[in-house]
Amino acid sequence: MTTINPVTDLTLEGDVAVLTLNSPPVNALSAPVRDGIFNGIRQAIDNPAVKAVVLICDGRTFIAGADITEFNKAATGASLFDAQAMIENASKPVVAAIHGTALGGGLEVALTCHYRVAVPSAKCGLPEVNLGLLPGAGGTQRLPRIVGAERALEMVTAGTHVGAKTCKEIGLVDELVEEGKLREGAIAFAKKIVAEGRPLKRVRDTDDKVAPARGKPEIFAEFRKAHARKFRGFLAPEYNIQCIEAAVNLPFDEGIKVEQKLFRELITGVQSAAQRHVFFAERQVWKLPDVPADTPLIDVKKVGIIGAGTMGGGIAMNFLNAGFPVTIVETKQEALDRGIATIRKNYENTAKKGRLTLDDVEKRMGLLKGSLALEDLADSDLVIEAIFENMAVKKDVFGKLDKIVKQGAILATNTSALDINEIATAVSRPEAVIGLHFFSPANVMRLLEVVRADKTSKSVIATSMAIAKKIGKIAALVGVCPGFVGNRILAQRQREAQKLILEGAMPWDVDRVLYDFGLPMGPFAMSDLAGLDLGWSKETSKGETLRDRLCELDRRGQKTGAGFYDYDANRNASPSPVVEKLILDFAAEKGINRRTISDQEILERCIYPMINEGAKILEEGKAIRASDIDIIWINGYGFPVYRGGPMFYGDTIGLDKVLAKIKEFQSQMGDDFKPSALLEKLVAEGKGFKDL
């Protein structure tokens, strides 16, 4: 065995040289890995005894891509292009041996190999788009030369990981080898191609797979149209498409020039910086500074849920999907039956769309038990209360649970508004109490706010985070405060949106600005969707707010065909003259002199107080990191990923500018805009949230 460098070894197996990379955790293409490939392949080729080379990785995966931590830093050693050219131009066949994931630059390296073999569990993909990038090492030019333009378009714009069996079908992998026997299989394959005298296949020299799309711009136009909604606001998908167009229409080297130019634009841009921030934030959010990784976990085998309404049912589905037996408790048979029927209907609808088999539906329903007695939760390891928001009732339920549920179990509340410390006073074991704040619809939304109360034990926190992962959520640990983190920040935006429509804007102006900023919908469209009458009653309505007046006119949102907007039979919204007049009259009554409000003011009034509130939350220690707040807002409220979340967005604007605006608003509008001390401190020190 020859050591090429600390992460690369070269061994000879007869006349096959095996170049092994070992750079944990994921063999990313850091400088030593690139050097190792470059020098290792050269040595192997220079050795007259070698007839073929196998490139393989130790550890959990084949190369998972460029080293993201190295981006925008000065590169050292062999470039990725150098390493790839060494492989592609080798005078002897080089075979990539793939296990785990060959992603991004990793697949691009494999695409310069003359052949590729993989174990059945391996996956290949070009996920750069998820980092706001495009494959910048020839991937956009080589991939379509193997799989054709249409398939390549799908792969580079969705960034999906394609299983090895499919890779074999589409020609991305030449041979599958037995699971667990990659090394032997790859060596045998290398020997076979030598024995058969197979040619050195250079993907770059082929044309047959891209030729059919040449002169057919409609392929690209249709693709853009079909995915316009999904790609809205993102730069990277369009840039990826342009690269595939180049692969179809230009010679290889010209195509590479296009790829390089567009790659450089993306990698130096704000969107990719934001999406890379999100990549790391999604991994950081699980790390809890004061809850060690080896904290003992509670063994959760059975789950109890109280309340079979929309929330309770949605929460139950998460656990059923993950294979947990669930007992769901209601107070009345009718409500229980309705809740269970809704769960079944949801599953059956998914089955109709082909995303579940009827067998799966029955398996899930088989894990669900309905009950009218809290006593049936006695042996649950985790109980989640999901009843209406009333402190007295919740405390009563927790008091009862305390007497019923076995010791050591987690007693969780799904409250989105109430003080969990107070709920915890209802039990003799406050260390067992925690908030698990699911977002509606709970079976769909990825976010879970795990809310630690003052006395929650570390083991309960660690188990809650682990359970969140098991049921496919992204969880952020937050502290108890009104609205917790997500809704507390939302309240800032909602307040300003309401003020803006009295001061001069119309609901559709505010919505348009926030939609164009990248949110899925604006606050007024959102209110119409949720229903304006949540928490409103005809009997007690005094017409004091716009909402009261809308509801009094039976404009209660989409469901009544009218709210802030008018709706047609297909629920398409249009601005409402009735609402316009209502707003003008209301503002006049309140003595407000309406003025013209610019789009920029709408944006700054809605978003900057969110950033300021996020800073207050950090100051109070209610969130661990600024990036956790970003994760919450991206996954719970649809904040555009390409802006990195509200806190990252604040950094990209410059906190000094944000603070100056906040102060300007404070001088005009008072203490709704009181600056956070942390924000002032960061600005004074010339820092951003990223420096915390």
104 belongs to the binding site for ligand 3HC (CB under 6 A): yes
Instruction: Give least dist CB 226 to ligand 3HC, A.
Output: 24
Choose between 30 and 321: whose C-beta lies nearer to ligand 3HC. Answer: 30
Choose between 204 and 547: whose C-beta lies nearer to ligand 3HC. Answer: 204
69 belongs to the binding site for ligand 3HC (CB under 6 A): yes
Q: How many residues bind ligand 3HC (CB under 6 A)?
A: 24
469 belongs to the binding site for ligand 3HC (CB under 6 A): no
Identified catalytic residue from 13, 70, 88, 108: 108
Binding mask 643-682 for ligand 3HC (x = CB under 6 A): ----------------------------------------
Instruction: Give least dist CB 279 to ligand 3HC, A.
Output: 7
Choose between 70 and 552: whose C-beta lies nearer to ligand 3HC. Answer: 70
Q: Where are the alpha helices (DSSP H) in 405-521?
A: 420-424, 458-470, 486-503, 507-517
Instruction: Give least dist CB 26 to ligand 3HC, A.
Output: 4
128 belongs to the binding site for ligand 3HC (CB under 6 A): yes
Q: Where are the alpha helices (DSSP H) in 539-654?
A: 546-552, 577-589, 599-619, 626-637, 646-653
For the question of residue 238 being annotated catalytic, the response is: no
Choose between 6 and 366: whose C-beta lies nearer to ligand 3HC. Answer: 6
Q: Closest Cα partner for 494 from 672, 663, 679, 666?
A: 672
Instruction: Give least dist CB 131 to ligand 3HC, A.
Output: 5
Q: What letter represents residue 107's amino acid?
A: L
Q: What is the DSSP letter of 623?
A: B
135 belongs to the binding site for ligand 3HC (CB under 6 A): yes
Q: Closest Cα partner for 303 from 535, 467, 484, 527?
A: 467
CA atoms within 13 Å, Cβ hemisphere of 451: 29
User: Where in 2-31 is the site for ligand 3HC (CB under 6 A)?
Assistant: 25-26, 28
Q: How many CB atoms lie within 10 A of CB 477?
A: 27
Choose between 104 and 523: whose C-beta lies nearer to ligand 3HC. Answer: 104
3-state secondary structure of 268: coil
Choose between 111 and 328: whose C-beta lies nearer to ligand 3HC. Answer: 111
Instruction: Give least dist CB 44 to ligand 3HC, A.
Output: 24
DSSP string, 205-263: G--TTTGGGTT-HHHHHHHHHHTHHHHTT-SHHHHHHHHHHHHHHS-HHHHHHHHHHHH
Pairwise CA distance, residues 241 & 235, whole Å: 10
To 10 degrees, the CA torsion angle through 139, 144, 145, 146? 100
**Of 35-43, 59-67, 389-397, 555-563, which part binds ligand 3HC (CB under 6 A)?**
59-67
Choose between 108 and 630: whose C-beta lies nearer to ligand 3HC. Answer: 108
Instruction: Give least dist CB 589 to ligand 3HC, A.
Output: 56
136 belongs to the binding site for ligand 3HC (CB under 6 A): yes
3-state secondary structure of 477: strand
Give the per-residue SS3 of 227-241: CHHHHCCCCHHHHHH
Angstrom distances, CA of residue 470 to CA of 283, 318, 438, 452:
15, 9, 15, 19
Instruction: Give least dist CB 133 to ligand 3HC, A.
Output: 6
For the question of residue 620 being annotated catalytic, the response is: no
Among 131, 147, 340, 397, binds ligand 3HC (CB under 6 A): 131
3-state secondary structure of 55: strand
Pairwise CA distance, residues 536 & 541, whole Å: 7
332 belongs to the binding site for ligand 3HC (CB under 6 A): no
Sign of the C-alpha dihedral computed for residues 647, 433, 324 and 341 taken in this order: negative
103 belongs to the binding site for ligand 3HC (CB under 6 A): yes
The Cα angle at residue 621 between residues 620 and 624, in degrees rounded to 5: 150
**Of 63-71, 206-214, 294-302, 499-507, which part binds ligand 3HC (CB under 6 A)?**
63-71
**Of 96-104, 312-320, 427-435, 480-488, which part binds ligand 3HC (CB under 6 A)?**
96-104
Choose between 66 and 426: whose C-beta lies nearer to ligand 3HC. Answer: 66
The Cα angle at residue 49 between residues 45 and 53, in degrees rounded to 5: 45
Judge contact between 112 and 63, C-beta under 8 A. Answer: no
3-state secondary structure of 610: helix
Instruction: Give least dist CB 96 to ligand 3HC, A.
Output: 15
292 belongs to the binding site for ligand 3HC (CB under 6 A): no
628 belongs to the binding site for ligand 3HC (CB under 6 A): no
**Of 127-135, 464-472, 483-491, 514-522, which part binds ligand 3HC (CB under 6 A)?**
127-135
Q: What letter represents residue 450's amino acid?
A: V
Choose between 103 and 386: whose C-beta lies nearer to ligand 3HC. Answer: 103
Q: What is the DSSP letter of 29?
A: B
H or E element at residue 9: strand 8-13
Pairwise CA distance, residues 493 & 511, whole Å: 12
Cα–chain-centroid distance for residue 663? 33
Q: Which residues contact 97 (CB under 8 A, 6 or more apart)?
A: 54, 55, 56, 62, 117, 118, 177, 182, 183, 185, 186
User: Which residues does residue 52 pair with via DSSP β-bridges, in sequence order?
Assistant: 16
Instruction: Give least dist CB 64 to ligand 3HC, A.
Output: 3
Residue 330 token pair: 């209601």
Instruction: Give least dist CB 264 to ligand 3HC, A.
Output: 11
Among 32, 40, 127, 307, binds ligand 3HC (CB under 6 A): 127
Among 45, 66, 317, 490, binds ligand 3HC (CB under 6 A): 66
User: Where in 137-196 is the site for ligand 3HC (CB under 6 A)?
Assistant: 137, 139
477 belongs to the binding site for ligand 3HC (CB under 6 A): no
Identified catalytic residue from 128, 259, 604, 613: 128
Among 105, 486, 507, 646, binds ligand 3HC (CB under 6 A): 105
Choose between 80 and 306: whose C-beta lies nearer to ligand 3HC. Answer: 80
Residues in contact with ligand 3HC by the rule CB under 6 A: 25-26, 28, 61, 64-69, 101, 103-105, 108, 127-128, 131, 133, 135-137, 139, 283
The residues assigned a catalytic role are: 108, 128
